[in-house]
Structures are given as structure tokens and as C-alpha cells.
A and B are shown apart, each in its own frame.
Chain A
Amino acid sequence: MDALKATTSKNPIVRFLNMNTSGQTSGRSLPLWRQLLLQALCLAIFASVMFPIMYIVTLSFSSKTTRPSSLELIPKEISFIAYQQVLDKPTGNPVTFAELLKNSVVLSVGVGLAALLIAVTAAYAFSRLKFKLREVLMILVFIPLLMPAVGLSTPLYLLLNQIQVKECSKEVVAIQPFTACEGGAKGKLLFNLRDSLLGVGIAMTATALPFAVWNLKGYLDTIPKELEEAAAIDGADTNQTFWRIVIPLAAPQLAVTFFLGFIGHWQEFVTTWLFLSQPKDYTLAMTLYNMTGQYANSVPWNRFAAMAVIIALPVAVVYIGLQKQIVGGLTTGGVKG
């Protein structure tokens, strides 16, 4: 029983949800008055947790764009008009919901995947291989983790902003800073790396990559070495061990790392809001902020609430999916088999 518990999961959230809650370990039962007292306490906490959630859900099901003047926590009406409007025309700009969604997905999936693929070999080297500069290089990877994302985005903003494609005259294109227009002409700006999804993706990867290396190394450290040692005795070299043993063993955690990256970048705001200026590049998170931002008095509140629910839902769903992933991955795990 204990052994089973120990292998259930590393993730505290998953452990939390899968705990043995039957209370049958010993026959003690709670006296009724105490049970009721604790139930009252639990219900009070329940109410406080549900308060903002019910508030926003109720608002999202309203057909009125104004907020109610007294507290409403249970929907009086179920109207999907706000959801419909958000999906139809999310902002005042001519940008569709599908485009906003695409931008969010491209950024979060792209950055999550790029960081994972680049990080995995480095994580393996730090976890398993012995070499001279190991300590120094590990500290080097760790240093950027100390810098908050805002701190690293300043120089990236400036550097990426210097890479621009310009049309000097017809069919003459200059790529700064490598080539410039003749005679110092300014030319027409075609593309600014800073003001593009690609540029933002690069900036986000800059912070995601050291984190992915560190996170994956931490996980690889916990994989038992027996299988690799057995492979080495059978004559496998480092490369074969890595591709045939370590990658399959780590696959569930690779998926988890990817999904955690996805969740983090799905709602990324700092870098996108700093870098992007064109409405066609906006993400869902930026749109949500834009809805409450400057013109707060004319905000269609039911649409704002619907947008908040729409952004929150995929993350909540991924969390549930994530949980199955981890549990499934670990029950088919290697060493016992």
C-alpha cells in the first residue's frame, strides 16, 4: 500500500485529487456536533472560493451589458448572447476571434515546444554526464532564472527592434542591420521583428528555455539509473541510451513540461503587451485587458465576463487532462516491468 502511494505522482495537485479520502484506515467516527461544526466551516470556505467565480459566471450569462447594482451570484437568466458576441466580434478592431485564438495558440504552443526540444539534451547532459565545466555551466543556466521576465524583455525589445525589413524603392529591399538603403534613405517599413509574433516568441523563449532546462534536469534526476546501467552493460553508448531509454522514460514528464509551458504562455501578458502594437497580432489575454482598460465606462461587462470564462476554460481543462497524463504515464513506468 505504501509503495503504491509513493509511486502515485510527483505532482502535488494530482496527489491532492487522488488521495485516499475514504477514512477507513481506522474506525473512529466524528461526533455529530463536531461534524456539523466542521461542515459549516467547510461551507464558509466553499462560499469564499466560489464568490468571484460565481460573480463572473453570472455576469457572463447576462444579456445586459451593464453590471447589476446589487450583488448577484446566481444567474437570473441563462443567455449566451455575450458569448455569441465575443466569438463574433471580440473587439472594436476588424480582427476575428479565430485570429486572436490562433495568435494565442501559436505563441503558447510554439514557445512551449521550442523550449522543450532545445532544452532536453542539455538537461540530460547536466543530469547524467560528467564533464569539467558542469558546475560553471549549470550556474550560467541558472542566472537568467533570477531575472524577472520584465527585466529581460527590455534588452530584447531594443535588440529585436533593430532587425527591420524595409522597402527602399520598388523591388529594392533592405534588411537592417545587415543592409541599408542607398544614400541613407529611410524607406518604407515592411517588417519589424520586435512587432511580430515571431519576435515575441523569441523573447518568450529566452525566459522559458533556462526554466525548461532546470525543470527537466530536476525530473531526470529522479529517474532511476538502473535501466541506463543495464543498457550500458549491453553495450549501448550514450547516444543510444539517451534516445532509446531516457526519452521514452521521460516522455510523460516531457508532456507535462510542455503543458505547464502552454498554460504559462497562454495567459502571457507582459511581453506581448510590450512588444506588439498591431491589433492583428493581439492575443486573447491582451484583448481581455483591452476590454477593461481605457474605456472602462463603456465596457460591455457581460462580454468581458464571457471572455474571461473563455480564456480560463482551456487552462482548467488542460489541468484535468494533465492529471490523467501523469497518472497514466507512471502506471506504465519502467523499473518494475
Chain B
Amino acid sequence: MAIAKPSSRKVQWKKASLPYLYLLPAFLIMGVITFYPLIYQVIISFTNFDTKHLLLGLESPELKFIGLKNYIDIFTAALPVENFNFFRVLEFNFWWALSNVMLHVPVGVLIATLLNTEGLWLKRIYRAIYILPVVVPPLVVATVWTNIFDERYGAMNQLLANISTYFGQAGPIYIRWFEDVKPPIPGFLPGAPLTLAYYAMMIANFWLGWPFMSVVATGALQSIPKDLYEAASIDGATGGQQFWNITVPLLRPAMIPAAVYGFTLSFNLFNFVFFMTGGGPARSTELLVTFAYNLVRNLRWYGVAASFAVIIFGVAMIVFLITNRITRATQDYPEA
């Protein structure tokens, strides 16, 4: 029992500094490769940084501070880029994430409930197969689905052709999933036309999205006591009533964080947009992250890209504050 005497100052100082010693490696490295770049980003967002300043960076003699010009250009659609309107992209981005989650969560819950049916044959096999979309890397999923929606050789048009022969319409179908600019349902989302490419991406992301929700819902379903259902059926509640009055309320605590997670994931779903549509046609499926990537990788307007990243950060902060109120994800570790 070698407990140090609390009167010794040196020991006390050592004890107080110990936590910071544990934090030192992470903060030292994050300081250089995370925090410093973030600050650097804010600085160059006020400059006209482009390719000719690449070598010398902030020390380049021609680098000019141009105040808020980049930000103003982005918000007022004054960038010399075709079809770019920040607020339309923002609206589409929110709608894209929201519509995905609104689809994935109910379907995931329903399929989990289906698989939870007592006495259903082959449950184990279905569960093992239904998890496959979660296991395949999204990059592969995106490239494969791009190929499926190909106009001439894509499996989707071929499938539709097969189906339409049953309705007496023979012949191949050529739907231009990624090129058609005309929205199939005009005026569905005011201000941001939803082209066919949006629906194609929805289909692909649906395939990827519901199995995860189903996994979460199954876990929550298993923790609902069976007696509740037995008591309800003794009281004469139908299957539907049991679902709405027992299953849904008891699933809510598990599904809301999962839905929030799904929302953030879809909100920044770079792979799908980049591989499938490249943001097109006419930037109708552009997300904030894909446009930011475009600014850096193709246009090489680093100053504008930095301003755009700062704006994305602001949007992410707002999304986080809203979702955090819903989930209270950052609850502190309860001190004993």
C-alpha cells in the first residue's frame, strides 16, 4: 500500500499532469495533421488560391486576400460553373438524405418483423443472405449499380424488358437513367427537379440501406418481452394493433439513433453520386461533398474549395445540432 502523501507538491503536480500526458500523442499529431489544416483552410478561404500558388502557398507574392468574395460567389451562384446554385444543391442534399431514411427505416423494421415471425422456415438462411448488402464495400456496390443502370447493356433495362414481355410488350427497353434531364414527376420537389438519375440512385441506395436498418431493428425486437404480445392477444388485440401499440413504440429508442446515423451517412454519400451520375445530369444530383470534390480535383480552385468546405462544415454543424437534440448522442460518461 504505497499511497503517496497528498502533502507532497511534486507528487500532486505529477498526478494532475498525468491525464495531459495520456492526451499528448493524439493531440500532438492531430495538431499538425488535423487542427492546423483546418485553420489553414479558413485562412485560404479568404484568398484567390489556385494552381499557381501551389508551390509557395501563403508565401506566394501574387496571393491576394479577397475578403468574402469566395463566399459571396458561392451563395449568389456567381461561380463560372454551369448549372450551379448553392441553395438548390443544399435543398436536394437534404431531400436526398431525408427521403432515403424515410424509406429505409420502415422497410427495415417491416422486414425485421417478418423475420421475427415465430415458426417461419429458413429464417437463418434469410438472415444470412439479407445481410450481404451491408458486407459488400459501398465502392463496389456503387460501381456495380452504375453498370446495372447502363442504357443498352444494363441489367435494369433488361429486367424491365423481361417483365414487360409478360404484359405483351416485346422488345428491348432503353431508359436513359443517368442522362434524361426531364423529371418524371414534375414539381415533386419545388426548386430542385428530381431527374431519373435520382430515382436510380434511390433504388441502388435502397438496396444498400434497408438491411442495416433491419439488423438494428432485429436486435431491438429480440429485447421486447414476449409476454407483452401474449397479454395483448389475450386481451383480443389483432396483429396490426400489436404492431402499432407494442412493436413500434418499443423500437423507437433503437431506431432513432440508427435513422440519424443513416441520415448523416446518406447526406455525405460521396461514392454513389460520384460513380453513378457524377452529379449530373445538369448537376441535378450533385451533393455538397461531390461539388466540393469537383472544385478541388477538376477545377482546382483551391480558395473557392476552401470556402465551400467551411460552408459544408457550417451545414454539418447545424445538422449535428438538430440530430443531437434528437438522440443526445454526446451524453457524458456518468461519473459514479
> Are A21 and B124 touching (Cβ within 8 A)?
yes
Known A-B contacts A23-B120, A146-B320; the reply to A71 vs B129 at CB < 8 A is no
B118 sits at the interface (CB 8 A):
yes
> Are B144 and A155 touching (Cβ within 8 A)?
no
Which of A51-59, A75-83, A93-101, A328-336 is the contact stretch? A51-59
Cα of A159 to Cα of B23 in the assembled complex, Å: 25
> Are B114 and A41 touching (Cβ within 8 A)?
yes
Cα of A292 to Cα of B296 in the assembled complex, Å: 22
Q: Contact mask B1-35 → A, CB, 8 Å, 1/0?
A: 11100000000000010111011011101100111
> Are A122 and B137 touching (Cβ within 8 A)?
no
A49, A144, A239, A312: the one contacting B211 at CB < 8 Å is: A49
B139 sits at the interface (CB 8 A):
yes
> Are B140 and A238 touching (Cβ within 8 A)?
no
Chain A residues with CB under 8 A of B316 = 146-148
Chain A residues with CB under 8 A of B121 = 35, 39
Known A-B contacts A50-B129, A152-B38; the reply to A25 vs B215 at CB < 8 A is no
> Are A125 and B145 touching (Cβ within 8 A)?
no
Q: A337 to chain B: closest CB distance in Å?
A: 22
Cα of A332 to Cα of B93 in the assembled complex, Å: 46
Closest to A234 in B: B1
Which of A167-175, A247-255, A267-275 is the contact stretch? A267-275
Chain B residues with CB under 8 A of A155 = 37-38, 40-41, 44, 306
**Count the B residues whose beta carbon is within 8 Å of the partner chain — how many?**
102
Known A-B contacts A142-B330, A312-B136; the reply to A289 vs B297 at CB < 8 A is no
> Are A124 and B143 touching (Cβ within 8 A)?
no
Known A-B contacts A38-B120, A125-B22, A131-B20; the reply to A158 vs B139 at CB < 8 A is no
Q: Find the residue from B128, B139, B159, B297 having the highest chain A CB count within 10 A.
A: B139
B interface SS class: helix
A62 sits at the interface (CB 8 A):
no
Closest to B137 in A: A267
B309 sits at the interface (CB 8 A):
yes
Chain B residues with CB under 8 A of A144 = 30, 34-35, 38
Chain B residues with CB under 8 A of A159 = 36-37, 40, 57
A interface SS class: helix
> Are B137 and A312 touching (Cβ within 8 A)?
yes
A92 sits at the interface (CB 8 A):
no
Closest to B20 in A: A131
Per the 8 Å Cβ criterion, residues 298-321 of A in contact with B are 301, 304, 308, 311-312, 315-316, 319
Cα of A85 to Cα of B20 in the assembled complex, Å: 54
Per the 8 Å Cβ criterion, residues 200-221 of B in contact with A are 207, 211, 215-216, 218-219
> Are A311 and B128 touching (Cβ within 8 A)?
no
> Are B34 and A152 touching (Cβ within 8 A)?
yes
Chain A residues with CB under 8 A of B222 = 5, 15, 19-20
A69, A137, A267: the one contacting B23 at CB < 8 Å is: A137
> Are A71 and B162 touching (Cβ within 8 A)?
yes
Per the 8 Å Cβ criterion, residues 281-336 of B in contact with A are 288-289, 292-293, 296-297, 302, 305-306, 309, 312-313, 316-317, 320, 330, 333, 336
Cα of A5 to Cα of B219 in the assembled complex, Å: 11
> Are A121 and B120 touching (Cβ within 8 A)?
no
Known A-B contacts A16-B215, A17-B128, A147-B38; the reply to A319 vs B155 at CB < 8 A is no
Chain A residues with CB under 8 A of B216 = 12
Q: B174 to chain A: closest CB distance in Å?
A: 12
> Are A46 and B296 touching (Cβ within 8 A)?
no
Q: A21 to chain B: closest CB distance in Å?
A: 5
> Are A311 and B140 touching (Cβ within 8 A)?
yes
Closest to A122 in B: B26
Chain A residues with CB under 8 A of B55 = 161-162, 164, 176
Known A-B contacts A17-B127, A41-B114, A315-B136; the reply to A121 vs B23 at CB < 8 A is yes
> Are A71 and B159 touching (Cβ within 8 A)?
yes
Cα of A71 to Cα of B122 in the assembled complex, Å: 28
> Are A51 and B155 touching (Cβ within 8 A)?
yes
> Are A150 and B292 touching (Cβ within 8 A)?
yes
A257 sits at the interface (CB 8 A):
no
Chain A residues with CB under 8 A of B124 = 21
Cα of A30 to Cα of B117 in the assembled complex, Å: 9
Chain A residues with CB under 8 A of B333 = 127, 217, 221
> Are A23 and B119 touching (Cβ within 8 A)?
yes
B242 sits at the interface (CB 8 A):
no
Cα of A127 to Cα of B335 in the assembled complex, Å: 10
B130 sits at the interface (CB 8 A):
yes
Cα of A56 to Cα of B142 in the assembled complex, Å: 12
Closest to B150 in A: A67
> Are A316 and B1 touching (Cβ within 8 A)?
no
Q: Contact mask A1-20 → B, CB, 8 Å, 1/0?
A: 00001000000110111011
Known A-B contacts A121-B26, A154-B302, A158-B40; the reply to A53 vs B114 at CB < 8 A is no
> Are B219 and A15 touching (Cβ within 8 A)?
yes
Which of B71-79, B188-196, B267-275 is the contact stretch? B267-275
Cα of A118 to Cα of B297 in the assembled complex, Å: 30
Cα of A162 to Cα of B111 in the assembled complex, Å: 53
Chain B residues with CB under 8 A of A304 = 143, 147
Q: B158 to chain A: closest CB distance in Å?
A: 4
> Are A122 and B123 touching (Cβ within 8 A)?
no
A213 sits at the interface (CB 8 A):
yes
Chain B residues with CB under 8 A of A15 = 218-219, 222
Q: A11 to chain B: closest CB distance in Å?
A: 9
Instruction: Given A29-B119, A118-B25, A157-B296, output 10 extra A-B contacts at Cβ < 8 Å.
Output: A52-B145, A122-B27, A162-B57, A267-B137, A267-B139, A274-B297, A285-B139, A292-B275, A308-B140, A308-B144
CB<8 Å pairs between A and B, sample of 19 = A29-B119, A35-B121, A49-B130, A67-B153, A127-B333, A143-B38, A144-B35, A147-B309, A149-B270, A151-B312, A154-B309, A206-B34, A210-B34, A235-B1, A269-B270, A289-B139, A289-B275, A292-B146, A315-B137
The list of the 9 closest CB pairs from A to B, nearest first, reads: A122-B26, A151-B309, A125-B22, A71-B158, A155-B37, A67-B153, A131-B19, A267-B137, A155-B41
